[in-house]
Chains A and B, each alone.
Chain A
Amino acid sequence: MAAASRLEGMQTAQDLIICEHCDSVYRRRTLARGDVADCVVCGAVLERHQWIGVEGQFALVVTSAIVFLIANLSPIVTLGLSGMSSATTLWGAVIAMWRDGAQLVAFLTAMTLFFFPLSQIAIFGWVLWFARSGRRAPGFARAMWALVSIKPWSMIEVFMLGTLVAVVKAHTYFDVVPGAGIWAFGVLTLLITVFSSLDSRELWTVTREDPA
């Protein structure tokens, strides 16, 4: 592209975007609804149109927080065996693994299904609350770093599928009654799909430093 010689200086740097997978440099374009900008060299997604505004994203985060609460407090499934019944929550699973000698797995489960998703919801909610009025929340830079780093380690949707597999396995020997928790995890999985089309890094461009 002939633009190469005009790319000098920080002034124009704001309009540039570099592909994270092959280092190709592009000028940012205004994307219309539903548009996805792909790298022509390697096919990576450069950016997506942010089809939900900051207010909408905030509403989604609040929804996720409520559903997350339900998912963690309600039993996921209840098993019945000749008059006895046994139910578990997510934390029940964590504690069971810890007690039965699989502490490392208990730790992984607690982090990937509870602490990381919880932090994502809390941190994203925090920055969005301020972003609604175009401001950057206190600790904005660190919060944005945390959001990017935590993202790959949040595994709610895998747990959802795991629960289904466990239910089918248990179904052979026990009566299985799904609890509110499994529905809540199902809704969370849907919400995560919506969030995956959003890029939290866009908040850098829609917010300004507080003048104060």
Chain B
Amino acid sequence: MNAPPRGRDLGLMSCHVCRLVTAWTEEPHAVCPRCGSPLHARKTGSITRAWALLLAAALFYIPANVFPIMRTQSLSSKDDNTILSGIVELWRAGSPGLAVIVFTASIIVPMLKFIILGYLLVSVQRSSGFVSRQRTKLYRFVELVGYWSMLDVFVVAILSALVHFKILSRVEPLPGVVYFGVVVVLTMLSAMSFDPRLIWDNRKTSQ
């Protein structure tokens, strides 16, 4: 089967907000005739923005993992947990299934986001024509799973609100959780800034 034509080659583009197809324009102040949103053929400053946000996220990811995210206090003990030690505790407490879920959401997903977005950005900058379809799929995967990393942040929020038994037992959030929340937001913004059409635009060898 023949590949369908591309919008860029036909002089067509579509509105980011309402998807109306309009004539191609590079004019910076063009607006969609139907919904009035600014029209961009491609997301503006896609690669620079995506890189900046991704690097910022990677930087914040260090304190997010090094600093404890939660303090559990009881009469006799004070226990600070990082993301990783919280997972180990969950495993030991007899919920290996949930430990795996939290490990996936808090460790694997952010790591995958760094690796995949980094790879997509480098490959686009090098005008790679290699496995474009698979790279677009990787992008969709990052978009789909991105926000599940908020899991640990919400767990700390609920526990902090629930475990409030004066001096007997208390749970408090610690700075790690703030850094982690920032990481999730930054990686989501980075993925949103990336324009997957660049994977197809920049190919050196067009098939």
- A25-B12, A43-B136, A86-B163 known; A162 vs B197 contact (CB < 8 Å): no
A100 at the interface (CB under 8 A from B): yes
Residues of B within 8 A of A153 (CB): 147, 188
- A24-B6, A145-B35 known; A166 vs B162 contact (CB < 8 Å): yes
Q: Which residue of B lies closest to A81 (CB)?
A: B165
Stretch from B47-55, B111-119, B121-129, B167-175 contacting the other chain = B167-175
A23 at the interface (CB under 8 A from B): yes
Contact B188 A21 (CB under 8 A): no
B85 at the interface (CB under 8 A from A): no
Give the residue of A23, A79, A97, A201 whose beta carbon is less than 8 angstroms from that of B157: A97
Q: Which residue of A lies closest to B196 (CB)?
A: A21
Count CB-based A-B contacts (< 8 Å).
227
A172 at the interface (CB under 8 A from B): yes
Residues of A within 8 A of B178 (CB): 102, 104-105
Contact A166 B158 (CB under 8 A): yes
Contact B14 A18 (CB under 8 A): yes
* Number of B residues with CB within 8 Å of any CB on chain A: 76
Contact A23 B160 (CB under 8 A): no
A18 to chain B, nearest CB (A): 4
Chain A 133-174 interface mask (CB, 8 Å, partner B; 1/0): 000000001001100100011010011011111101110111
Chain A residues 1-45 with CB under 8 Å of chain B are: 1, 4, 7, 10, 13-14, 16-18, 20-26, 40-44
Residue among A95, A109, A166, A204 with most chain B CB within 10 A: A166
Chain B residues within CB distance 8 Å of chain A? 1-8, 10, 12-14, 16-23, 33-37, 89-90, 93, 95, 98, 101-102, 105, 132-133, 136-137, 139-140, 143, 146-148, 150-165, 168-169, 172-173, 175, 177-178, 181-182, 185, 188, 192, 196-197, 199-201
16 extra interface residue pairs, beta carbon distance < 8 Å, beyond A10-B33, A20-B14, A24-B3: A17-B14, A22-B199, A25-B5, A42-B136, A93-B154, A102-B173, A104-B181, A141-B18, A141-B34, A141-B35, A158-B147, A161-B105, A162-B153, A169-B93, A170-B159, A201-B17
Residue pairs across A and B with Cβ atoms less than 8 A apart, 12 shown, are: A20-B14, A21-B136, A24-B4, A42-B133, A79-B162, A92-B161, A105-B178, A152-B143, A155-B154, A161-B151, A165-B155, A168-B90
Chain A residues within CB distance 8 Å of chain B? 1, 4, 7, 10, 13-14, 16-18, 20-26, 40-44, 76-77, 79, 81-82, 84, 86-88, 92-97, 100-102, 104-106, 108-109, 112-113, 141, 144-145, 148, 152-153, 155, 158-159, 161-166, 168-170, 172-174, 201, 204
The 6 closest A-B pairs by CB, nearest first: A162-B154, A96-B161, A88-B161, A42-B136, A93-B161, A166-B158
